[in-house]
């Protein structure tokens, strides 16, 4: 973590706040978070070396301000949630989000997989039917699913990904049967006709996180089997070079969420156009420091660059999913 008056990222601010609250209260808060949030914040907490008094004061002041701006108004009506989100996002776009919200509250079996190491998940589902594997991976977060898919047999990956891309709603009964296979208790909402898990975009997101060599192999297999599907997946993939298509405000939002070290590594593998776009969205002093750091940085492994780029892409997708930025490009209509 940066020291002094350096600006903290959102994750660093959360880590400082939790550590300021004390072990017992911090533990109670962490219990309410998902596996990815716990892992991310926990990693930052474990690596905190020093935090200045000014940084702690600033974090606490910001938290108090946010709390004071909140009201006691709560929304606990499923019908109202459905109506509100559908009106805001449209029926098609809201469908998957609503299903995940309402079904996720009781999906104990599938949610348990989100806490498991990719190797453990792979062992659990390795011998299942490819359709079952596809449903499980579609339910996981894309980066988690990518790690699991990479552990599947090479000759099954493209088949699994094509099944994910072809998923078009999963009846609660099918999810219940899946839960029985996992020997976990599952209770779905009677109001949900199907869960919008999977689809072409889900397949594209998983490929975005997988190693480049595996990605090329899987895409080649899909193109050979179903060229039209392969093109649809390819069109929806968002790679690091596509960061050029994000507007300035979006770039600034992404930069606030990532560490300088990740940015330096990621830009080692970027072209000059993208570098200049990043520089243009920083203060003059910060841009000069970044240029100096890039020049001073010696040769780095391609694998390290790819990891850093995927970390930044994950932030960009999260911000896009929450509606804070638009990823732009030829699939822009998927995000606005």
pLDDT in tens, the chain (336 residues): 444 445 777 788 888 888 888 777 877 787 777 777 777 787 787 777 677 788 888 888 887 777 666 554 444 455 666 666 666 666 655 555 555 555 444 445 666 777 778 888 888 888 888 888 888 888 888 888 888 998 998 889 999 999 888 887 666 666 666 666 665 433 333 333 444 556 888 888 888 777 777 888 888 888 888 888 888 887 777 778 888 889 999 999 999 989 888 999 999 989 999 999 999 999 999 999 999 999 888 888 888 898 888 889 888 878 887 788 887 543 334 333
Q: Are residues 102 and 63 in the same domain?
A: no
Q: Are residues 91 and 229 in the same domain?
A: yes
Buried b (16+ CB within 10 A) or exposed e, 22-52: eeeebeeeeeeeebeeeebbeebbeeeeebe
Q: Are residues 260 and 306 in the same domain?
A: yes
Q: Are residues 107 and 147 in the same domain?
A: yes
Q: How many domains does the chain have?
A: 3
Q: Are residues 316 and 278 in the same domain?
A: yes
Q: Are residues 229 and 249 in the same domain?
A: no
Q: Are residues 137 and 153 in the same domain?
A: yes
Whether 335 contacts 326, CB under 8 Å = yes
Determine the structural domain holding residue 213 and report its residue range. 78-236
> Among residues 69, 98, 117, which one ends one of the domains?
69
Q: Which helix (H) or strand (E) holds 255?
A: helix 248-255
- Please state the φ and ψ torsions of residue 187, each to the nearest 5 degrees: -135, 105
Q: Which residue shows structure tokens 């596996």?
A: 35
| Residue 277, domain CATH | 1.10.220.30
Cβ atoms < 10 Å from Cβ of 111: 18
Token readout for 260 is: 């300088």
Q: Are residues 219 and 89 in the same domain?
A: yes
């Amino acid at each position: 973590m940066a020291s002094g008056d350096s600006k903290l990222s959102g994750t660093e601010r959360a880590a400082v706040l939790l550590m300021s609250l004390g072990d017992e209260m911090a533990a109670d808060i962490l219990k309410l978070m998902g596996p990815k949030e716990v892992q991310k914040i926990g990693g930052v907490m474990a690596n905190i070396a020093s935090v200045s008094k000014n940084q702690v004061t600033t974090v606490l002041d910001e938290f108090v301000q946010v709390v004071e701006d909140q009201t006691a108004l709560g929304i606990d009506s499923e019908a109202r949630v459905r109506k509100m989100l559908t009106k805001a996002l449209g029926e098609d776009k809201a469908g998957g989000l609503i299903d995940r919200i309402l079904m996720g509250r009781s999906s104990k079996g599938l949610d348990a997989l989100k806490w498991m190491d990719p190797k453990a998940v792979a062992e659990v589902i390795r011998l299942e039917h490819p359709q079952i594997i596809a449903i499980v991976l579609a339910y996981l977060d894309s980066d988690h699913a990518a790690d699991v898919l990479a552990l599947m047999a090479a000759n099954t990956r493209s088949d699994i990904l094509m099944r994910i891309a072809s998923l078009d709603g999963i009846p609660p009964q099918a999810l219940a049967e899946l839960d029985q296979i996992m020997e976990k208790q599952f209770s779905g909402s009677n109001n949900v006709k199907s869960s919008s898990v999977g689809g072409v975009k889900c397949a594209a997101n998983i490929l975005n996180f997988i190693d480049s060599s595996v990605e090329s192999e899987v895409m080649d297999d899909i193109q050979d089997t179903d060229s039209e599907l392969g093109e649809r997946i390819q069109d929806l993939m968002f790679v690091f070079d596509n960061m050029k298509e994000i507007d300035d405000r979006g770039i600034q939002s992404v930069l606030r969420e990532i560490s300088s070290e990740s940015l330096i590594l990621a830009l080692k593998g970027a072209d000059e156009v993208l570098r200049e776009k990043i520089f243009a969205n920083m203060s003059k002093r910060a841009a000069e420091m970044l240029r100096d750091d890039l020049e001073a940085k010696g040769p780095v492994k391609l694998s390290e660059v790819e990891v850093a780029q995927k970390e930044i892409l994950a932030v960009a997708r999260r911000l896009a999913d929450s509606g804070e930025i638009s990823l732009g490009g030829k699939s822009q209509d998927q995000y606005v």
